[in-house]
């Protein structure tokens, strides 16, 4: 026991000498660790500040977007209120939101579409002059000698009047003659029961080509049977009314019926006197899709009216019947480069004359082939008797090459051989160029 008490004081002294040393070492350890602790605290503080700035920036962006949306919404509301006030037509308007502006710059939208076209040709004949009688020469322009000829300058005015009505005016300026009306009519389209109506002065629906204007024909001139029975200048046309229906098809894919009543006529088969010249016409058109690239049309036409043989005691009548056939092949996607057309028409006439009834007829057949986008060739054969004398007839052949310079200009060369039993036969070489300005180019029907 006494030895233990001696040991205790010695241990206390040793511990007092060790404590300062240990505390110094710990202090030096804390001094070495302080820089690392400050860096961690600085990084933590910086991260917190960045997060706070990002949060505030997002709040500002959200506030700005809300203000823009509210401004757009307010603008739409103001426009809607203005439109509602205008729609009420006479209701109280808010003068603070209504703006009065001039509509003068928009008036040109009401202007009709205007197109101009010229039809110029030159021809030589052999023999240069031929013998013709007054009642058989249907194209007096070709009766002259070799020459240049502006066959027609045409002005086309077309405008939609409303969703159901259209107006068309075609003014013709023949060479060295005054202005004349070629067509002037108004049409209603898409009426109930698929009905279309037309009133005014117009070319009649008889056969295939009577409706076509000269510059849109497959050849330079009209087939001789049309010139002989319907006239070589305007063709069969008059003042009246026309009704057209797409009727339920019976034997074809599509059937279309047209009925027309006019005063005036062609001056050949029918009198062009507005008092006596009254003509009724009808046409039934049948359409078939043969393949995806080809179609066939068959038309039946008829006309009945008074002719020019009328006298004070009796009105003499003429009845015309027509059968026309057309076949067209247009390869899908290549119609601009390759097409083939076949057209044929037969016209029969029963004409009352002071000496009795005269029955006569005529026909033509033509083919046309497109070789490429610019070049086309055609061939036409004609045969026709004269309406008032079936003992006289002519036959002809015409070959044509047509070159499209552009959508607005084309050139054509045609060679004719015409043989007549009632006058001299002849050969013709015809050069033609047609140019067009405006939205309506070479209009064909």
pLDDT 10s digits, 29-88: 444 445 566 666 777 777 778 888 888 888 888 887 888 788 887 888 887 777 777 666
* Neighbouring C-beta atoms of residue 387, cutoff 10 Å: 26
Residues 6 or more apart in contact with residue 69 via CB below 8 angstroms: none
- Domain annotation covers residue 259: yes
Q: Which residue, 88, 111, 133, sits at the end of a domain?
A: 88
3-class DSSP assignment, residue 319: strand
pLDDT band for position 233 (50/70/90)?
A: confident
Is residue 262 situated within a structural domain? yes
Give residue 356's region: left, alpha or beta (phi > 0; psi -120 to 50): left
| CA 42 to the chain's CA centroid | 78
**Mean pLDDT within 82-106:** 58
Q: Is the pTM of this model over 0.75?
A: no
Q: Do 130 and 423 touch, CB atoms closer than 8 A?
A: yes
Same domain, 20 and 132: no
Residues 409 and 355 in one domain: yes
H-helix or E-strand spanning residue 218:
none
Contacts of residue 211, defined as CB under 8 A and 6 or more positions apart, other chains included, come to 203, 204, 205, 445
CA–CA separation, 284 and 248 (whole Å)? 12
| Bridge partners of residue 50, in order along the sequence | none
Q: What pLDDT is recorded for position 37?
A: 67
- Asked if the bond preceding 127 is cis, omega within 30° of 0, the reply is yes
Is pLDDT above 70 for 432? Answer: yes
353 exposed, middle or buried (CB, 10 Å; 0-12, 13-18, 19+)? middle
pLDDT at 16: 47
Domain co-membership, 136 together with 248: yes
Whether the pLDDT of residue 265 is over 80: the answer is yes
Statement to judge: residues 84 and 127 lie in one domain: no
Strands (E), 102-174: 113-126, 147-162, 165-174
Per the domain annotation, does 178 fall within a domain? no
What is the C-alpha separation between 273 and 262, in angstroms, rounded? 11
Q: What is the pLDDT of residue 249?
A: 84
51 and 130 together in one domain: no
Whole-angstrom Cα distance, residue 342 to residue 206?
A: 18
Angle at Cα 183 formed by Cα 263 and Cα 434, nearest 5°?
140
Residues 82 and 130 grouped into a single domain: no
d(CA 370, CA 416): 20
- Average pLDDT score over residue span 192-210: 93
| 235 and 365 together in one domain | yes
Query: Do residue 80 and residue 141 come from a single domain?
Result: no
Q: Could you give the angle at the alpha carbon of 170 between the alpha carbons of 341 and 273, nearest 5°?
A: 100
Report d(CA 294, CA 335) in Å as an integer. Answer: 11
> What pLDDT, in 10s, does the model give residues 300-349?
999 999 988 777 677 889 999 999 999 999 998 888 899 999 999 999 99
State mean pLDDT over 132-159: 73
Considering the domain architecture, whether residues 216 and 360 belong to the same structural domain is answered as yes
Q: Are residues 141 and 44 in the same domain?
A: no
Give the pLDDT mean for 106-124.
84
Q: Cα separation of 235 and 268, whole Å?
A: 10
Residues 34/39/44/45 CA torsion (nearest 10 deg): 90
Cα 334 to Cα 342: distance, rounded to the nearest angstrom: 18
Average pLDDT of the residues in 234-257: 92
Domain extent for 10: 1-88
As beta bridge partners, residue 181 has 171
With residues binned 3-state (H G I as helix, E B as strand, rest as coil), the percentages for the chain, rounded to 5, are 25, 45, 30
- Cβ–Cβ < 8 Å for 159, 166: yes
In a domain, 444, yes or no: no
Per the structure, how many domains does the chain have? Answer: 2
**Structure-token pair, residue 142:** 């070709």
Nearest CA among 425, 403, 424, 423 for reference residue 414: 403
Those residues whose C-beta lies under 8 Å from the C-beta of residue 33, and which sit 6 or more positions away, are none
More confident residue, 251 or 99: 251
Is residue 125 within 8 Å of 412, Cβ to Cβ?
A: no
Residues 19 and 127 in one domain: no
User: How high is the pLDDT of residue 101?
Assistant: 54
CB 156 within 8 A of CB 170: yes
Q: Is residue 103 part of a domain?
A: no
Does position 102 have pLDDT exceeding 80, yes or no? Answer: no
Q: State how beta strands 356-370 and 339-353 pair.
A: antiparallel
Q: What is the DSSP letter of 112?
A: P
pLDDT value at position 24? 45
Identify the domain boundary among 47, 66, 88. Answer: 88
Tokens of residue 80, six digits: 């809607």
Q: Measure the CA–CA gap between 100 and 181, rounded to whole angstroms.
A: 43
What CATH number does the domain containing 254 carry?
2.40.160
Residue 435 pairs with which residues in a beta bridge?
118, 409
State whether 61 and 131 are in the same domain: no
Mean pLDDT of the chain: 83
Q: Is residue 165 part of a domain?
A: no
Residue 223: predicted pLDDT: 95
Residue 442 belongs to a domain: no
């Amino acid at each position: 026991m006494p030895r233990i008490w001696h040991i205790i004081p010695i241990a206390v002294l040793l511990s007092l000498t060790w404590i300062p040393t240990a505390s110094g070492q710990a202090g030096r350890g804390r001094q070495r660790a302080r820089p690392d602790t400050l860096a961690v605290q600085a990084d933590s503080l910086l991260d917190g500040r960045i997060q706070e700035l990002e949060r505030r920036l997002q709040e500002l962006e959200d506030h700005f977007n809300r203000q823009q949306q509210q401004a757009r919404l307010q603008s739409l509301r103001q426009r809607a209120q203005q439109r509602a006030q205008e729609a009420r037509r006479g209701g109280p308007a808010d003068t603070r939101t209504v703006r009065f502006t001039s509509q003068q710059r928009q008036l040109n939208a009401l202007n009709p579409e205007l197109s101009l076209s010229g039809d110029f040709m030159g021809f030589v004949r052999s023999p240069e002059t031929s013998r013709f009688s007054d009642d058989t020469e249907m194209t007096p322009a070709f009766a002259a000698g070799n020459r240049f000829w502006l066959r027609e300058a045409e002005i086309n005015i077309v405008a939609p009047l409303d969703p159901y009505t259209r107006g068309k005016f075609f003014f013709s300026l023949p060479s060295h003659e005054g202005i004349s009306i070629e067509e002037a009519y108004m049409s209603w389209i898409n009426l109930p029961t698929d009905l279309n109506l037309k009133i005014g002065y117009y070319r009649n629906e008889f056969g295939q080509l009577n409706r076509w204007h000269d510059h849109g024909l497959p050849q330079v001139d009209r087939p001789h049977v049309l010139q002989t029975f319907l006239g070589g200048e305007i063709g069969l046309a008059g003042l009246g009314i026309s009704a057209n229906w797409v009727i339920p098809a019976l034997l074809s894919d599509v059937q279309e019926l047209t009925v027309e009543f006019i005063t005036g006529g062609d001056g050949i088969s029918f009198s062009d006197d507005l008092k006596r010249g009254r003509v009724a016409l009808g046409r039934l058109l049948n359409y078939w899709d043969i393949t995806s690239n080809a179609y066939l049309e068959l038309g039946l036409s008829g006309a009945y009216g008074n002719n020019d043989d009328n006298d004070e005691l009796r009105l003499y009548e003429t009845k015309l019947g027509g059968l026309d056939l057309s076949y067209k092949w247009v390869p899908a996607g290549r119609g601009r480069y390759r097409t083939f057309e076949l057209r044929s028409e037969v016209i029969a006439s029963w004409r009352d004359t002071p000496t009795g009834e005269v029955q006569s007829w005529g026909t033509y057949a033509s083919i046309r082939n497109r070789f490429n986008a610019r070049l086309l060739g055609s061939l036409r054969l004609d045969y026709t008797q004269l309406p008032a004398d079936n003992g006289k007839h002519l036959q002809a052949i015409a070959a044509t090459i047509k070159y499209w310079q552009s959508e607005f200009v084309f050139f054509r060369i045609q060679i004719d051989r015409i043989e007549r039993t009632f006058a001299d036969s002849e050969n013709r070489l015809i050069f033609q160029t047609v140019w067009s300005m405006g939205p309506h180019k070479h209009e064909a029907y």
